[in-house]
Structure 1
Amino acid sequence: MSYSWSSPAHEDFVESLASKLMANGVMVRLDKWDLKEGQDKFAFMESMVTDPEISKVLVICDSHYKAKADARKGGVGTETEIISAEIYGQVNQEKFIPIVVEYDASRQAVLPTFMKSRIYIDLSNDDVYGDGFDQLLRAIYDRPKYKRPELGAAPEFLDDALATAIPVREFQALRSATEEGKATADGLEAAYLKRFQVELGKLLVPKEIADYDDEIVAAIGRAKPLRDQFDQYVSMKAAFAQDAPRACRRVLELLEHILGLRTPPEGMTSYREEWFDVYRFLGWEFMLLTVAALLREQAWQTLDQVCSEVFVFHRNGDQRDRSFLEFEPYLRSLDERRNKRLGLRRISIQTDMIHDRVSTSGTTFNEMMQADAFLSLRSVVQQPEGQTRDFWFPRTLLYLDGNRLPLFVKAGGGAIKAGLLKALGVADAKEFAARFEKVAAALNNFGNWRMDSEFIDLRSATNVAQLSV
């Protein structure tokens, strides 16, 4: 520790700081402790620089130290010459840490000239001492508070081999306008989704080959950048819409467009139905991401609107209108053909794929399971009178491992419970219980809801007991 014997109080401060460092596992060399009678004080000073066991030098800066250092007077002046030569001559400049204990009349930190440009640690008063001491310990132990994240891979959309390219510029313009509340946001959203739809249209797999499921898997893989950008887009829409259903109308238009992509384009007279499984997969995935974002923002009215929406598309020249149930797929190309052809013996390849596509910075798989369970629950309690056959099957719950989903655990709280019931389209817990149990009784308490030997326990996962009271 390099300091000036400015006053008894300052000496006490320095010794107290040294003692605190020792108490925190830092071996400190201090003149009062280590310089004995008969020893060469200049050699002691020089050892601060030359001794390989000394990794840090704390320069305690007050006005007396500054004056002596700038004038090169006394012991401080000698130390300054040694330290400044080391600082300007060596690469490792982190060895010398300025400790500010005083400010001048202009509220500028008191530092000697040779350390003016250095990043310092402030121990000048009781208000900052605690944080400053923590900062000092982190510097000594090389445990910085802010750590550089690991370097990731280059974005997939930069790969020229990809058939799709995400509309980056359009999305950034939309994001900025949305965040700033500009009136141009709606027009920018329309332009963005138009480009997005163009890229989606490039994913069709019209190949008459024995292993066309490979092409479907590859196409789904190429769509990953679009999937991740859609996740950002729908999360942004849910966050800024403030549960205004109309604000999400273009999201629903995009989902409706995906339904249209599942039908053979004009002029295609020969095709396999499974070629369009890439769009069935993406429609399922995008619907889950949409509902997951709305659940995250507790946008109950908008969720009710999504589940009440009539999606209109054309199939072989005929106009069709469907509910959200149209987005729940069973992909034979994957779960049957591919599973058997490659001998994978997986319960559900499509579920494995949607699980493996989750990005660390986006919607979590747990949130997607909650969306899956919500849509299933909605399909149960809104089952038409006299029917027990059109359901949303929550296949992602294959990964649940017997736990209840966090959002539905919170259904014990009044606000969450009331919101969920509203989004499920029922008036109250009594109506929910009556509707759910009626379907459950007709289906032997969902005893046949299985994937291979795994039972999909919708009742437990969605905390039906709590929603019913």
Structure 2
Amino acid sequence: MATSTQRPVVFVSYSWSSPAHEDFVESLASKLMANGVMVRLDKWDLKEGQDKFAFMESMVTDPEISKVLVICDSHYKAKADARKGGVGTETEIISAEIYGQVKQEKFIPIVVEYDANRQAVLPTFMKSRIYIDLSNDDVYGDGFGQLLRAIYDRPKYKRPELGAAPEFLDDALATAIPVREFQALRSATEEGKATADGLEAAYVKQFQLELAKLLVPKETADYDDEIVAAIGRAKPLRDQFDQYVSMKAAFGQDTPKAWRRTLALLEHVLSLRTPPEGMNSYREEWFDIYRFLGWEFMLLTVGALLREHAWQTLNQVCSEVFVFDRHGDQRDRSFLEFEANLRSLDERRNRRLGLRRISIQADLIHDRIVAGGTTFTEIMQADAFLSLRSLVQQVEGRTREFWFPRTLLYLDRNGLPLYLKAGGAAIKSGLLTALGMADSKEFSVRFERAAAGQDNFANWRMDSQRIALRSATNVAQLST
């Protein structure tokens, strides 16, 4: 690839068909020179007394020449096919190089003429090669850009980096994912088919079965290793869940009732935190895998809904009553039940391994982000939203019921894009709707009351890191 210190060198092979054609070739060569390409052209480089055939051969075979541009018109084609004149000589040299071991992309046909049948005029030995079209003013600009990319080896379409094999393929490391059910659901959803709801029911059922396999009851002093391993095995399920809620948010048109099966799936995760029937001896931390996943799944769900501005659905998700069984006792809880403070990781594991991390939980969820999925910024926006919602919907006198946004540990000075837009009427109105607030005044009153109960968040810290919820969510704009 050419660099700023090593300019590409090209040779132009063409026929002296007419003065107009010669002017075209010289103009093209001048434009290439102006764009940093050293051009070898007979008019510029072949001097009196030199052997023109030796010059042509050296230009085609010289390793310094990275590209040979073959300007193809009817005169060039005729001479090349008949092997006549200088063009014929160059053709013999070029064709020998093409059919030899020289890299195929060294020789680039430049089409400047079409025949009566609208076929590109190309010499026979180049008929099968991909060409660049500079035949008229309409295509010249795009063609010239394409030519520069070819010379500089900067293709417009680049192959993405090769990733690792999916973790779920390794039975020893990962949990299976319901691929067939998800693909059927995705197709039906994208095509708007009536079967989508039934297919979603089948998908959710299979997803729940795979979740249940993550529990690893094991009596060991280092059980935090098992939790981290189970979180790793759950990565394929996590990634598919991200695709699932992203798809629903994109195609759901902010219809809260369309999310009933997703809410049922989230509710099921809560139920998995309870020892299954027949397990009489257990440790609470065995179920931290489901506490972590419930927290992560809720953040992914809210992140997707915020991304699609599904304000009504967000309000419904945060208003949902989740019911699950705990030791034979039916419990009803809000979204706050998904907020996780895993001491097995942030305290025990941190201390045992001397990791000195502020929050292993936050680190794990940060490191599980995948390209093309929900971004970590969107995760932080969801975390901040759930915290805001918990504060403004707080029952007076119950100041300990709030969602702690631990992922804001990663927040930089740039803030969160969604809340920076809260100065605009549409985003502000949407956020207030999702927060269950009638207007900015109600939000301001409720938020400040909650803030006073938290000593204006003076103690919202992890280690020495302050959690700046007020500035992160642009409360000043939401309150205006």
- Pair in the same fold by TM > 0.5: yes
The one-character-per-residue Cα deviations of 1:229-273 (angstroms, maximum 9, x if unpaired) are: 111111111111011112222111110000000001000111111
Aligned residues between the structures: 469
2:257 pairs, out of 243, 246, 269, with 246
Cα deviation for residue 91 of structure 1 reads 4.1
Tell me whether 1:333 sits opposite 2:333 in the alignment.
no
- Kept in 2, the 8 Å contact 1:421–1:428? The answer is yes
Q: Distance in 2 between matches of 1:52 and 1:329?
A: 63
Cα deviation for residue 219 of structure 1 reads 0.8
Q: Which segment drifts farther, 397-406 or 182-191? A: 397-406
Q: Give the aligned CA root-mean-square deviation in angstroms.
A: 1.5
Secondary structure of 1:203 counterpart: coil
Q: Which segment drifts farther, 274-283 or 24-33? A: 24-33
Superposed, 1:140-179 pairs within 5 Å as 140-179=151-190
- Kept in 1, the 8 Å contact 2:174–2:235? The answer is no
- Kept in 2, the 8 Å contact 1:403–1:461? The answer is no
Q: Distance in 1 between matches of 2:130 and 2:282?
A: 68
Q: Distance in 2 between matches of 1:79 and 1:220?
A: 65
Tell me whether 1:114 sits opposite 2:125 in the alignment.
yes
Secondary structure of 2:318 counterpart: helix
Superposed, 1:356-371 pairs within 5 Å as 356-371=367-382
Q: Distance in 2 between matches of 1:332 and 1:33?
A: 76
- Kept in 2, the 8 Å contact 1:402–1:461? The answer is no
Q: Distance in 1 between matches of 2:298 and 2:134?
A: 55
1:210 alignment counterpart: 221
1:76 pairs, out of 79, 87, 107, with 87
Tell me whether 1:353 sits opposite 2:354 in the alignment.
no
Q: Which amino acid aligns with 1:129?
A: Y
Secondary structure of 1:59 counterpart: strand
Q: Which segment drifts farther, 186-195 or 71-80? A: 71-80
1:372 alignment counterpart: 383
Secondary structure of 1:445 counterpart: helix
Cα deviation for residue 163 of structure 1 reads 4.9
1:4 pairs, out of 2, 15, 26, with 15
Q: Distance in 1 between matches of 2:166 and 2:33?
A: 48
Superposed, 1:11-410 pairs within 5 Å as 11-410=22-421
Cα deviation for residue 191 of structure 1 reads 1.5
Distance 1:426 1:31, change over 3 A: same
Secondary structure of 2:38 counterpart: coil
**Structure-1-length-normalised TM-score:** 0.97
The one-character-per-residue Cα deviations of 1:340-393 (angstroms, maximum 9, x if unpaired) are: 222333222212211222223311111111100000100111112343221111
Q: Which amino acid aligns with 2:416?
A: L
Q: Distance in 1 between matches of 2:413 and 2:20?
A: 65
Q: Distance in 2 between matches of 1:443 and 1:146?
A: 53
Secondary structure of 1:319 counterpart: strand
Q: Which segment drifts farther, 353-362 or 232-241? A: 353-362
Distance 1:85 1:346, change over 3 A: closer
Q: Which segment drifts farther, 27-36 or 414-423? A: 27-36
Distance 1:118 1:424, change over 3 A: same
Q: Distance in 1 between matches of 2:317 and 2:260?
A: 9
Distance 1:30 1:455, change over 3 A: closer
Cα deviation for residue 104 of structure 1 reads 1.9
- Kept in 2, the 8 Å contact 1:163–1:202? The answer is no
Cα deviation for residue 120 of structure 1 reads 0.6
Secondary structure of 1:25 counterpart: coil
Q: Which segment drifts farther, 113-122 or 45-54? A: 45-54
- Kept in 1, the 8 Å contact 2:168–2:233? The answer is no
The one-character-per-residue Cα deviations of 1:387-429 (angstroms, maximum 9, x if unpaired) are: 3221111111122145532111100011000000000000110
1:432 alignment counterpart: 443
- Kept in 2, the 8 Å contact 1:283–1:327? The answer is yes
Q: Distance in 2 between matches of 1:51 and 1:456?
A: 64
- Kept in 1, the 8 Å contact 2:168–2:174? The answer is no
Cα deviation for residue 51 of structure 1 reads 2.5
Cα deviation for residue 107 of structure 1 reads 2.0
Q: Which amino acid aligns with 2:27?
A: S
Q: Which amino acid aligns with 1:407?
A: L
Q: Which amino acid aligns with 1:334?
A: L
- Kept in 1, the 8 Å contact 2:112–2:136? The answer is yes
Q: Which segment drifts farther, 173-182 or 12-21? A: 173-182
Cα deviation for residue 293 of structure 1 reads 0.4
Q: Which segment drifts farther, 320-329 or 41-50? A: 41-50
Q: Distance in 2 between matches of 1:362 and 1:130?
A: 36
Distance 1:394 1:130, change over 3 A: same
Secondary structure of 1:89 counterpart: coil
Q: Where does structure 1 differ by over 3 angstroms across 4 or more consecutive aligned residues? A: none
* Unmatched tracts of structure 2, length 5 or more: 1-11
**Structure-2-length-normalised TM-score:** 0.94
Q: Which amino acid aligns with 2:374?
A: T
2:424 pairs, out of 380, 405, 413, with 413
Q: Which amino acid aligns with 1:107?
A: R
* Unmatched tracts of structure 1, length 5 or more: none
1:445 pairs, out of 432, 456, 459, with 456
Q: Distance in 2 between matches of 1:36 and 1:441?
A: 88
Q: Which amino acid aligns with 2:140?
A: Y
Distance 1:39 1:339, change over 3 A: closer
